[in-house]
Structure 1
C-alpha cells in the first residue's frame, strides 16, 4: 500500500523537515501541497499538485495522510477538517494552542477511526537518543537533576508570525514544546511546576526566554531557553548518585536538511567526535571518566512509524495524548509565571 501524503503549508517546516524526509520513506509518496506559492513548490516538486486551500485538497480521494505545517493558530482548524474528511493526520508541534483543542481532536480521531500524531521530531535527536540509552544502563544511578538547554543568539527580532503577539507564538510554544516533550517522554508528568517567562529583547512582542523547573518526588528537571546566548553552555547536564553526564552541541539534522542532505546519506545524523558527551561515574569504588559516542539521529524514524501505523496498525510514533500533555505543561507554565507561584499538578493529569 502506497500512502499518498498531502502537506498543508510550505514554509520552513514543510520544505525542510517534512517534504525531504517523506520523499525518502518507503511506502510514502508526496502527492499534494497546499500553498500560496505554487512557483516555489513546483521548483522543488514539479510532479506534486498544488492547491490554494485545504478544502480543495481534501476533496482528492487519493490523499491518505494530511500533514499540517501551518502557523500554530491554524493547527486545530485544519486538523479537524482533515480528520472529518477521514484522513490520517500529522500535526507539526505544538499540537494546538490549548489543551481543550487537543482533547477534541483526539476524541474526533478515535470516532473517525484515523491515526493522529504530532511531529515531535527531537525525540530522534542524536543527543536525546544517547541520553535515553545511557539512562537505561543505570550508570548514573538514581537521577537527581536533569537539565536541558535550547539556547540561541538572535538579538534582532524577525518579522515573522512566531514573534508576533498571537496565541501560540513565542519561544515557550516553539522550542519549549521540544524540551517539554523530551522530559515527559523520559519521566512522565511532574508533580509541580515553576516557571519564569519573559521577553528579554528590546521591542519583543512575545516571550523569547523561559526557565522551567518540573518537580518529581526525587528529581528536578530544569528546562531553559534564551535568545541572547552568544556562548552556549552544555545542551544537557545530568547528575545522579553514581555519576554525571554532560553533553555540548546541537543535533545536526536540521542543518543537514537545509544543506540538501537526506536520511541515508553519508554522515546523516552523526555527531562530531569533539561534541561527544562526557561521563563521570564510579565503578567498583573507582572513579572513571569516559567519552560516550553519540548515537546517530534519525528524524526519518517518525515517518517510518507513521507508515507502519497506517499500513499495519502499529502504534503511532508520538501519541496525541502525549502531545496534549505537553500543551498542558505549557499552560501550567504560563499560569505559574502569571501568578508567580509553584503550580501543583493533579496526580491524574497524565491519565486523562
Structure 2
C-alpha cells in the first residue's frame, strides 16, 4: 500500500484531535508535517515530521494531500493556493464563507484534476449513523416532521478570540450549523424553502450564537437548532413518522476520547454508553435501540480510496456548496424576516 504524504496547515485542536490521530493510525497516510508560524508543536508529538515555517514551504514539499484546518475566513485563499499548486485538498467545515467561493474552488479542483474533499466528520458519529439506519430500514414509514439540534451550555465567550471576531465565517451558523445542515441534507435532500431566525444571545457577543432554521419540503418540515444556552439538552434527533417516533440524544464519544489522548485503533472505539440508546415508539411497542459505532477513521478510509483508486471522495464539494446555499439563505431569511425559496 503506497502512502499518501499529508501536511496540515495548522496544528491546534483540529490538527491534534481530528486529523493527526487518524492519519497516524491509517496505514494509507503518512503525516509529514504542519504549517506552524510560531510554536513548533508537531515535532514534539511525532517522529520524522516537520514544522513548516511558511505556506510556500508546505506547497513546495512532497505532500500530496493538504489539510486546510484553519479558521473559516482563511479557507478560500489557502485551499485555492493548494489546489493551484496541484495538491489534493481536504478542507475543514465550514467549507467557505459563501457560495461563490465554494463554487470557484470546485471549478479549480476539476480544472487541476485533483481531489477536493470537505471534512464533515459528524456523518460518522454513532448517533447520526443510528438515525440513518432507522430511516434506511423505513421503520417509521414516511417522515412528516424532524428536528436536529446541536446545543451546549457555554454562555462565556470563547478564549479563541478569532471565533468571536466579526468576520466572515465566524459564529455558530458556520460552526455547529455546518454539521447539522449537512446532516439534514444527507437525510432528507435539499429543501424547497426555508425560514430562519439568527440571534446574538451571549453578553457582549459580536457573532451569531443562536439559530432556528425551518426547512420546507413538499411532504415534511425539518427544524435545525443550535444554542449555547442549553443547560438541559433535548434529544439531538427527533423523527416523527406515520408509524411512530424515534428520539436520540447526541452521545458520540469520539471527541471526548480524543481529548483524553486515546487513539482510534482499539476494538470498542466509538461505542456509546448503554444509557444513551435511542427510543423507538411505534404502534407495536416502545423499545430502546442500540447505537451503531461511530468511527471517523471510516472517513479517512474512504478518502484514501478516493486518492489512491480514483473513487469518489466521502464528502464532495457539491455537497458543501449545498450547505453554503442553506447558510446564505438563512442569513437572508433572518435579515428580511421572510421565507426564502430555492
- In the alignment, the residues of structure 1 paired with residue 54 and residue 16 of structure 2 have an alpha-carbon distance, to the nearest angstrom, of 17
- In the alignment, the residues of structure 2 paired with residue 333 and residue 189 of structure 1 have an alpha-carbon distance, to the nearest angstrom, of 14
Q: Is the 8 A contact 2:10 2:69 kept in 1?
A: yes
Q: What residue in structure 1 maps to residue 33 of structure 2?
A: 32
CA offset digits 1:134-180 (Å, max 9, x no partner): 11111111101110111011111123211211110000000000000
Match of 1:306 among 297, 303, 306: 303
- In the alignment, the residues of structure 2 paired with residue 203 and residue 31 of structure 1 have an alpha-carbon distance, to the nearest angstrom, of 41
| Match status 1:337 vs 2:334 | yes
- In the alignment, the residues of structure 2 paired with residue 317 and residue 290 of structure 1 have an alpha-carbon distance, to the nearest angstrom, of 33
Instruction: Give 1:42 deviation, angstroms.
Output: 1.8
- In the alignment, the residues of structure 1 paired with residue 59 and residue 196 of structure 2 have an alpha-carbon distance, to the nearest angstrom, of 40
Q: Is the 8 A contact 1:261 1:268 kept in 2?
A: no
Instruction: Give 1:266 deviation, angstroms.
Output: 4.0
Q: Is the 8 A contact 2:35 2:52 kept in 1?
A: yes
- In the alignment, the residues of structure 2 paired with residue 131 and residue 294 of structure 1 have an alpha-carbon distance, to the nearest angstrom, of 9
DSSP 3-state at the match of 2:14: helix
Q: Is the 8 A contact 1:253 1:269 kept in 2?
A: yes
- In the alignment, the residues of structure 1 paired with residue 323 and residue 52 of structure 2 have an alpha-carbon distance, to the nearest angstrom, of 32
CA offset digits 1:106-141 (Å, max 9, x no partner): 011001110000000000010110111111111111
Q: What residue in structure 1 maps to residue 231 of structure 2?
A: 230
Q: Name the TM-score, length of structure 1 as normaliser.
A: 0.95
Q: What residue in structure 1 maps to residue 135 of structure 2?
A: 135
| Match status 1:289 vs 2:290 | no
Instruction: Give 1:310 deviation, angstroms.
Output: 0.8
DSSP 3-state at the match of 2:89: strand
CA offset digits 1:22-76 (Å, max 9, x no partner): 111121000121012443222212421111221111111x211000011111101
Give the alignment of 1:1-352 within 5 angstroms.
1-60=2-61, 62-159=62-159, 160-282=161-283, 287-345=284-342
Q: Is the 8 A contact 2:33 2:42 kept in 1?
A: no
DSSP 3-state at the match of 1:50: strand
Q: Is the 8 A contact 1:246 1:279 kept in 2?
A: yes
DSSP 3-state at the match of 1:23: helix
DSSP 3-state at the match of 1:214: strand
Q: Is the 8 A contact 2:42 2:51 kept in 1?
A: yes
Instruction: Give 1:267 deviation, angstroms.
Output: 2.8
DSSP 3-state at the match of 1:296: coil
DSSP 3-state at the match of 2:194: strand
Instruction: Tell me the C-alpha RMSD between the 2 structures.
Output: 1.0
- In the alignment, the residues of structure 2 paired with residue 281 and residue 29 of structure 1 have an alpha-carbon distance, to the nearest angstrom, of 48
Q: Which moved more, 1:165-174 or 1:256-265?
A: 256-265
Q: Which moved more, 1:37-46 or 1:310-319?
A: 37-46
DSSP 3-state at the match of 2:175: helix
Q: Is the 8 A contact 2:40 2:51 kept in 1?
A: no
Q: Structure 1: which 5+ residue stretches go unaligned? A: 346-352
Q: What residue in structure 2 maps to residue 348 of structure 1?
A: none
DSSP 3-state at the match of 1:164: coil
Runs of 4+ in structure 1 displaced over 4 angstroms?
A: none
DSSP 3-state at the match of 1:195: strand
